A and B are shown apart, each in its own frame.
Chain A
Amino acid sequence: MIRSITKPKSKEEIDTLLDGLNRIFIIGCGTCVTLTRTGGAPEVAAMKEALLDSGKLVTGQVVVPVACDNLTSEILNEEMEKIEQADVLLIMTCAFGVQTVSSQLKRMVVPALDTLFIGKETGYGQFNEICTQCGTCIIGETGGICPVTNCHKGLVNGPCGGTNQGKCEIDSNKDCAWTLIYNRLTELGRLDSMRKLQGPRNFLGEPTPGKYEISKS
């Protein structure tokens, strides 16, 4: 299942964002950020303690089941009395959740997390980016492994010269996508597809901001 992968913003950044905002309502989420332990019930409780320690007033807190869902507004309506007492909503969800709450309640929001990527859990406590949703999928020629996402440089013609022992030049903990692709294509007996000279990528898959409508025809 795909997940929105997040990490906490630094205390310093949150302090700056909350400067002058003393009455705070905290929102967490029961889905992705619970899995990543960045915005589930324990993290929301810890944030409340930290805010109280720094002299803030917490008017209330809630962990909604799926922050990015349209039903979030109905759950938050039940908390409206405490929300209205707050200067700001400190939202411990991914940016989808923050923007959903912001558009539903039209109130001042501060994100407590940075949204890193859309990925999946690949091991206990480990999350990997799988797809950058580029709009021009090429994995039919790369053994089902995406170099646009998994190669740091998004290269489509094979590895750069920085790859070393199957790892990426920026981080020896990150796999070289092209070593993975090479190994997979070798296993599949399809190495010829790696030998094909690929033209420049089409970066116009869907110009940002993305918008898509199912054809009415």
Chain B
Amino acid sequence: MISSFQKALDSGKFIVTCEVAPPKGINLEKTAHHIDLLKDKVDAMNLTDHQSSVMRYPSLGGALMVKEMGGEPILQMTCRDRNRLALQGDLLFAASRGIHNVLCLTGDSVMLGDHKKAKGVFDLDSSQLLAAIRILEKGKDLGDNELDGSPAFCAGAIVTPEAKPLEPQLIKFEKKIEAGAEFIQTQAVFDLDKFKSFMEYARQFPVKILVGIILLTSAPMARFMNKNIAGVNVPQPLIDEMAQAPKGGAIVKGIEIAGRMIKAIHTEKICDGVHIMAIGKEELVPDIMAAADLTP
């Protein structure tokens, strides 16, 4: 079973993915609206998995929604909340319901979220989850038992191109590829020169790289990310540009900046595609794509 996202990756076209966050609760209207708006415009959409350790409707449920609505889901799976039995079981369920793209993440600490006293599991890590997927595909589980019907996945992972120090992250990046990652969605990138030097290194590996682009919504938001999110560095000129936007025009400026960056990455063929993170403003993804001269 080759997913349409896998086909898009193999086609060599410039890939566009975005994020959809399942709701806090069972009111699925906004999520359904975002899926409906984006399903024919992007190659696939990521369903976040209790992002930032905040308990929400599960990524598996969101991925099923996307599938049922005719879109292409990328199921995000973290290792924070499930042991190896639960992770493998959810992978089998996903495959049985036509969900064939998985993004493997270690997951944030529960201490960063809204259930700080919960037990963080981390029975596996992101590279071991990737390896588990490849084992399931061969008809076995992690206990070396035979499966009755084996799944198939297009598996991916993440990397932080601006991590400090960088080399330990790159060693992990290489292990993820060794474990079976076919695509990489990066942490948010704002400095294209630094990203180009990362790509010069990353090009040697047989993996598709989708650059992470976060929509800036205000100068304080950019400063907040610089202070609080590891590996995210919004350069001062971009913060100044956001600060100088006319009153009420910050979002428009953010869309312009994101569009400009994506367009440069696309036209200069810096990497294989873009992963747009509009964090709660998914309805603006088409505007960002338009600003980047990307047609669905």
- By size class, the interface of chain B is 35 or more
* 21 CB-based A-B contacts, threshold 8 Å: A153-B109, A155-B106, A157-B126, A157-B128, A157-B175, A158-B175, A159-B168, A162-B109, A163-B168, A164-B163, A164-B164, A166-B165, A169-B108, A169-B109, A170-B112, A182-B171, A194-B171, A195-B171, A199-B128, A200-B124, A200-B128
Task: Give the residues from 159 to 210 in chain B that come closer than 8 angstroms, CB to CB, to chain A.
Answer: 160, 163-165, 167-169, 171-172, 174-175, 178-179, 187
Q: Please, what's the 1-or-0 string for B37-59, where 1 marks a CB less than 8 Å from any CB in chain A?
A: 00000000000000000000000
Residues of A within 8 A of B179 (CB): 197
A159 to B165, CA, bound (A): 10
Residues of A within 8 A of B120 (CB): 152-153
Q: Does chain A have a CB within 8 A of B8? A: no
The answer to whether A153 touches B84, judged by C-beta atoms less than 8 angstroms apart, is no
Residues of B within 8 A of A155 (CB): 106, 122, 125
Residues of B within 8 A of A162 (CB): 108-109, 112, 230
Residues of A within 8 A of B112 (CB): 162, 169-170
Max count, chain B CB within 10 A of own CB: residue among A161, A162, A165, A203:
A161
Residues of A within 8 A of B164 (CB): 164-166
Which A residues fall within an 8 A CB radius of B? 152-166, 169-170, 178-179, 182, 191, 194-195, 197-201, 203
Residues of B within 8 A of A191 (CB): 171
Which B residues fall within an 8 A CB radius of A? 84, 105-109, 111-112, 120, 122-128, 131-132, 142, 158, 160, 163-165, 167-169, 171-172, 174-175, 178-179, 187, 230-231
Residues of A within 8 A of B105 (CB): 161
Extra contacts, 17 of them, besides A155-B122, A160-B106 (Cβ < 8 A), are: A157-B125, A157-B172, A159-B169, A161-B158, A162-B112, A163-B168, A163-B169, A166-B165, A170-B111, A179-B168, A194-B168, A197-B127, A197-B131, A197-B179, A200-B123, A200-B128, A201-B123
Residues of A within 8 A of B107 (CB): 160
The answer to whether A199 touches B131, judged by C-beta atoms less than 8 angstroms apart, is yes
Name the residue of chain A whose CB is nearest to the CB of B168.
A182
A154 to B231, CA, bound (A): 21
Residues of B within 8 A of A169 (CB): 108-109, 112, 230
A191 to B158, CA, bound (A): 22
The answer to whether B123 touches A203, judged by C-beta atoms less than 8 angstroms apart, is yes
Please report the number of residue pairs spanning A and B whose Cβ atoms sit closer than 8 angstroms. 91
Residues of A within 8 A of B126 (CB): 157, 160
Name the residue of chain A whose CB is nearest to the CB of B179.
A197
Max count, chain A CB within 10 A of own CB: residue among B108, B126, B131, B172:
B172
**B109 CB contact (under 8 Å) in A165, A170, A179, A199:** A170
What's the nearest-Cβ distance from chain B to residue A192, in Å? Answer: 10
A129 to B111, CA, bound (A): 19
What's the nearest-Cβ distance from chain A to residue B49, in Å? Answer: 14
Residues of A within 8 A of B178 (CB): 197
A152 to B53, CA, bound (A): 15
Name the residue of chain A whose CB is nearest to the CB of B84.
A200
What's the nearest-Cβ distance from chain A to residue B39, in Å? Answer: 28
The answer to whether B172 touches A158, judged by C-beta atoms less than 8 angstroms apart, is yes
The answer to whether A161 touches B231, judged by C-beta atoms less than 8 angstroms apart, is yes
A152 to B123, CA, bound (A): 13
Max count, chain B CB within 10 A of own CB: residue among A152, A153, A160, A165:
A160
Nearest first, the 4 A-B pairs at minimum CB distance are A158-B172, A164-B230, A153-B122, A182-B168
A166 to B164, CA, bound (A): 7
A30 to B131, CA, bound (A): 50
Residues of A within 8 A of B109 (CB): 152-153, 162, 169-170
**B172 CB contact (under 8 Å) in A159, A170, A199:** A159
Residues of A within 8 A of B131 (CB): 197, 199
A191 to B106, CA, bound (A): 22
What's the nearest-Cβ distance from chain A to residue B124, in Å? Answer: 6
A194 to B174, CA, bound (A): 11
What's the nearest-Cβ distance from chain B to residue A178, in Å? Answer: 5
Name the residue of chain A whose CB is nearest to the CB of B172.
A158
A201 to B171, CA, bound (A): 19
Residues of B within 8 A of A152 (CB): 109, 120
The answer to whether A161 touches B171, judged by C-beta atoms less than 8 angstroms apart, is no
Name the residue of chain A whose CB is nearest to the CB of B160.
A161
Residues of A within 8 A of B84 (CB): 200
Residues of B within 8 A of A158 (CB): 127, 168-169, 171-172, 175
The answer to whether A182 touches B167, judged by C-beta atoms less than 8 angstroms apart, is yes
A199 to B131, CA, bound (A): 8
The answer to whether A161 touches B163, judged by C-beta atoms less than 8 angstroms apart, is yes
